[in-house]
Every structure is written in structure tokens, then in C-alpha cells.
A = this chain, B = another copy of it.
Amino acid sequence: MSSSEGGSEPTDTREEIMEATYRALCEHGYANLTMQAIADEFEKTKAVLHYHYDTKNELLAAFLEHLLDRFTSRLDVDSDDPNARLDALVDELLLGLDDESGEDREFHTALLELRAQAPHNAAFREQLAANYDLLLDMLTTIIDDGIEQGVFHDVDAERLSALIMATMLGGRVHQITLDREAIALDVREVLEDEILADLRSEAE
């Protein structure tokens, strides 16, 4: 899934560039992000950065793909239990790392700015659409598995997944843009009570 997988470039360098991009985004935000700011977070030279990515746009589209890898690797919960996998995915997408450092908030603020550029930027839009499709597919698979195992109520898994994806994004955007930490947690609770509890009802 990673762009470096099977490529001739060392995976480590690309991984280091992605980590540098993450740190630079948290520190400077999207609006003030330059190739130099990313290079400052990177142990190798700026020339190495430009060797891998011609432009900032190209690097940021690759970064969006990297985020998807990061999300999905974190979501590899060691479980066949659809309930646990559903919780892990919703907690990750709606609540995020929920760390104390504030880095998560800064990162999601920068991600929202990147998202807001998508209508003007085909590379961002295509990568966000690929991320959406893959996460929607993961959620749909979890729900279908739960239906098959008899622990979830029978529903149209893909339609319900689209609703849950919209709710998670909206809850997250409200949290970030209104500066109300509690909103994502509140939305997580009501999502559970009003939608997920119904889905899980066969298990009770």
C-alpha cells in the first residue's frame, strides 16, 4: 500500500521524510509549510528531499497516502471480534490519538487545511478519495463480518458505513473548528447509542 513498497528507494528515507513532514505540519500548520520547514525537521539534506519529491504538492499528496498507511496499521487490532474492530476504527477516526501534548490537535488542524485545499488540488482530492474509499471499505468489511458471525443486526453495510464516516468527520471538524474538546467525545457516545447499539443488538 505504501508508495515505497517494492520501489528502488530505501523505505527508511521516505519514512523519515514523512515523519519530518508530520512534525513540520504540527509546528507550522499548512499555510506556513515550506520545503525548507520540512527539510529543517529532516536529518538529511534538502537535496535528498527534492530528489524524492519535486514539489511540496507532490510531497503532501504522498503524505496523505502515508497517513492512510499509519491509520490502517494502527487499526490492525489483534482480534476477529467485529465489535472490537468497530470500536478501534471509530475511536481512531473520531477521537484520534487523544494525546496530552496537543500534537494531535495541531496535526488535525493542518489536515483540515489540506482537506480544504482539495477542491483546488487534484492530487490531494484523489488521495483523499482513495483514503475515503479504503476506510469505507474497512468499515463495510467489519460490519459484513459481524452480520455473517451473527453478532450484528442485518443492515446494508456500505450505506451505514457512509453515514458513520460522515458523522465521524463532522464530529472531528466541529471539535477542531469550534475549539470544543468535548464535541468528538459526545458525538462518539451518541453514535454508539443511536446507531452502533442497534447494529450490535443481535449480540445481546
Residues of A within 8 A of B (CB): 29, 31, 105, 109, 112-113, 115-120, 125, 128-129, 132, 159-160, 162-163, 165-171, 173-174, 176-180, 183, 186-187, 189-191, 193-195
Contact = CB atoms under 8 A, between A and B. Distances in A.
A172 B120 CA distance: 16
Contacts of A112: 115-116, 119
Contact of A166 (B105, B120, B125, B170): B170
A190 B119 contact: no
A186 B29 CA distance: 33
Contacts of A190: 159-160, 162-163
B166 A187 contact: yes
A197 B118 CA distance: 33
A117 B168 CA distance: 20
So how many copies of this chain end up in the complex?
2
B167 A115 contact: no
A115 B118 contact: no
A125 B174 CA distance: 10
Given A162-B183, A190-B163, A178 B132 contact: yes
B177 A118 contact: yes
A191 B162 CA distance: 10
A170 to B, nearest CB: 3
B194 A129 contact: no
B116 A178 contact: no
